[in-house]
Amino acid sequence: MKISVLTENTAQLPDFRTEHGLSLFIETGMHRILFDTGQSDLFLENADKLEIDLRTADMAVISHGHYDHGGGLKAFMQINDHAPVYLSRYAFEEHLNRSGKYIGLDPALSGSPRITMLSGSLRIADGVELFSGIGCSPVRPVETDGLSVRHGDSVLPEDFRHELYMLITENSRRILFSGCSHRGILNIANGFSPDVLVGGFHFMNLDLDENGKDALNRTAEELLRFQTVFYTCHCTGRPQYDFLKEQMGSRLHYLSCGQTAVI
């Protein structure tokens, strides 16, 4: 499997522009999948630099209903006229950041006949499954990080029911993709126990003070109990990744914009 990073917060090469967001192009032996689109059409520019033709994508999956993962969806649907798009049935809810600003998707797209709104789990192709839950009780409390969602006249703490996980099974290996892991990376790893897990850990707002380092140390210890190799990016935070890398060594890797990983 080859994973090309079209959009991410950082870049290893100066030719690739970056933004706060995530977009991956995944090539298996059978499928070509766009996983998230970043917050703009920048992923198209970077795909061209990587000589990736997104018109050949078989399908697209948007991991959750935040702009930095689905803001480029309209641009993708304009250049690719056939690939089905999969989102949670809750993706187009009114998602808000800690200051109350709307951080959701373009609601005008919600009625597109190319979009499948998912609840539960769904096998979308041979060896490719989507899940709207982790299948077990959390081993750690889910942190909202100040995010919320509007239901009618009420603004409630975010429950991240709009988050999807994509599991690809290939060559007897289970590779799980999680955009931001808002439900908690330990909860997700525990729920799926994949061979490889690709996604953000959402530690970017965690201070690296004594308490923060203690929390990351405990996280590293627990992640190492799984027989899983982790590829992280985006919302993990680069300083937080560097700290985790010291504890996890070859079991943890970072994906930057313009990078291609074969796993």
pLDDT for 70 equals 98
Q: How many residues appear in the chain?
A: 263
The whole-angstrom separation of Cα 8 and Cα 69 is 10
Judged on CB neighbours under 10 Å (0-12, 13-18, 19+), 152 is exposed
The whole-angstrom separation of Cα 187 and Cα 6 is 27
Beta bridge partners of 196: 175, 229
pLDDT for 259 equals 97
Which is nearest to 163 in space by CA: 59, 213, 91, 98? 91
The whole-angstrom separation of Cα 65 and Cα 90 is 8
Q: Does residue 168 contact residue 127 with C-beta atoms inside 8 Å?
A: yes
Domains of the chain: 2-262 (3.60.15.10)
Supply 244's token pair.
Answer: 């985790």
Break the chain down into helix, strand, coil percent, rounded to 5: 25, 30, 45
Q: Which letter does DSSP use for residue 107 in this model?
A: G
pLDDT for 183 equals 97
Supply 15's token pair.
Answer: 């030719």
The whole-angstrom separation of Cα 255 and Cα 126 is 26
Which is nearest to 28 in space by CA: 165, 131, 166, 234? 166
pLDDT for 157 equals 97
pLDDT for 225 equals 97
pLDDT for 136 equals 83
pLDDT for 135 equals 85
Low-confidence ranges of the chain (pLDDT < 50): none
**Strand ranges inside the chain, DSSP E:** 2-7, 23-27, 32-35, 59-61, 85-88, 94-96, 115-118, 121-125, 128-131, 148-151, 154-157, 165-170, 173-178, 196-199, 229-232, 252-254, 260-262
Per-residue pLDDT reduced to its tens digit, 123-136: 999 999 999 999 88
Per-residue pLDDT reduced to its tens digit, 21-70: 999 999 999 999 999 999 999 999 999 999 999 999 999 999 999 999 99
